[in-house]
Amino acid sequence: MSQTIVFASGKGGTGKTTVTVNIAIALCKKNNKVLLIDCDCGMRGLDIMLGLEQNLMYDTGDVIAGNCVTSDAVYAHPSVNGLFLMPAPLNVEDEISPQVMEQFVNTVRDSYDYILIDSPAGLGSGFKTAAAAADRAIIVINAEPTGVRGALNIRKELIDKGITDIRLIINKLNEKNFRELALYNDLDEVIDKCETQLIGVVPDDYTVVTFSQKGNPHLNNSSANKVFSNIAERISGGQAQLAFPKKI
């Protein structure tokens, strides 16, 4: 039975798209078949991060408009076995409704082990569409007060929509900066304030930036790589370590 997971954040730029791509790749490395749906209409980025930008002919908007069949708008990644992308429309006017997203996901659900949906920041229509078909949610924050407030707002919306399986990723954590800024006593305080169970802490890692801008989805030598692998394991119900930094 496939699972659909929406990646969300109240605040922009926390790393949702980056985290979604990397977890999708980690799930594929564990022999899962994964569909990534880009729901950031008008600002899509998954295609760039996956190096598929030049390949795209159709997107979800074309499927809905009847310009193509669904399979025409689903792109298999050439070097990540089992990874597929459905791009968002480039034009905001082509944004699909939550109802249409739900219908669409229901038609493709049986073909994948996981469907990961990357949403735009905030609580707007794009988030509502992204969340419409989700069984589970992962909130991506940075360890700062605006991130925490965003997480609480998103969490409330998700629960109102009936999504109760919600986990937290703290992304771009720089341990030295976290200690020096002293906004929180420790990471436990951040997690408690978000009222959401942690599934992973991803370090601030320059190779993640390099990868995302070059469209080369292979992070083999990155310190973040093991973390993404552990998060994928935990998503699948395994008991991998949280990789919680010991010093914080």
Instruction: Write out the residues near ligand ATP by the rule CB under 6 A.
Output: 9, 12-18, 40, 45, 120-121, 171-172, 202, 204-205, 208-209, 212, 224
> Binds 57, which of ligand ATP, Mg ion, none (CB < 5 to 8 A, cut-off by type)?
none
Question: Smaller CB distance to ligand ATP: residue 68 or 181?
Answer: 181
Give me the residues paired with residue 38 across strands: 118
Q: Which of 4, 9, 17, 196 binds Mg ion (CB under 5 A)?
A: 17
Q: Which stretch binds Mg ion (CB under 5 A): 16-24, 97-105, 217-225, 229-237?
A: 16-24
Question: Smaller CB distance to Mg ion: residue 120 or 203?
Answer: 120
The one-letter amino acid code at 53 reads E
Place of tokens 């905001």: 92
Is residue 32 at the binding interface for Mg ion, with CB under 5 A as the rule? no
Question: Smaller CB distance to Mg ion: residue 16 or 155?
Answer: 16
83-86 vs 3-8, strand pairing mode? unpaired
Angle 74-136-38 (CA atoms, 0-180°, nearest 5)? 30
Question: Smaller CB distance to Mg ion: residue 101 or 187?
Answer: 101
- Cα separations in angstroms, 117 against 4, 84, 130, 133, 134: 7, 12, 6, 9, 8
Host H or E run for residue 139: strand 136-141
